[in-house]
């Protein structure tokens, strides 16, 4: 049995969509240029958040001595990046094997 709406919470200015409404719906990428123009639609539809990194780092779990992590953390934000740089520097002069 379908759930009956609470008559006090019905918004007559914004009714619930029916199956027919959903079937008629179009993606925003198709509708926004018609409503706001191509330039504005391009701005509205651009991806959100940080752009994808060119080089993606591996996510790993590593166990380090407390004094090592304390020293790097004490140096402030970006301490993990500095550990990465220190390891890269070590690799320039050492063989990892």
Q: Are residues 93 and 63 in the same domain?
A: yes
The model's confidence at residue 19, banded by pLDDT at 50, 70 and 90, is very high
d(CA 63, CA 58): 15
For the segment 63-92, what is each residue's pLDDT rounded down to a tens digit? 999 999 999 999 999 999 999 999 999 999
Cα three-residue angle 13-19-23, rounded to 5 degrees = 100
Q: Are residues 36 and 67 in the same domain?
A: no
Q: What is the pLDDT of residue 12?
A: 82
Q: What is the pLDDT of residue 14?
A: 86
Does some domain include residue 11? no
pTM: 0.49
Phi-psi category of residue 49: left, alpha or beta, with phi > 0 → left and psi -120 to 50 → alpha? left
Does some domain include residue 79? yes
User: How many separate domains does the chain show?
Assistant: 2
């Amino acid at each position: 049995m379908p759930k009956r709406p609470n008559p006090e919470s019905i918004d007559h200015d914004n009714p619930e969509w029916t199956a027919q409404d959903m079937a008629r719906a179009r993606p925003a990428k198709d509708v926004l240029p018609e409503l706001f123009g191509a330039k504005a639609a391009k701005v509205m539809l651009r991806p959100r958040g940080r752009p994808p990194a060119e080089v993606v780092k591996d996510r790993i779990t590593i166990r380090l001595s407390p004094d090592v992590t304390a020293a790097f953390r004490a140096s402030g934000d970006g301490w993990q990046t500095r550990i990465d740089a220190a390891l890269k520097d070590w690799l320039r002069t050492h063989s990892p094997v």
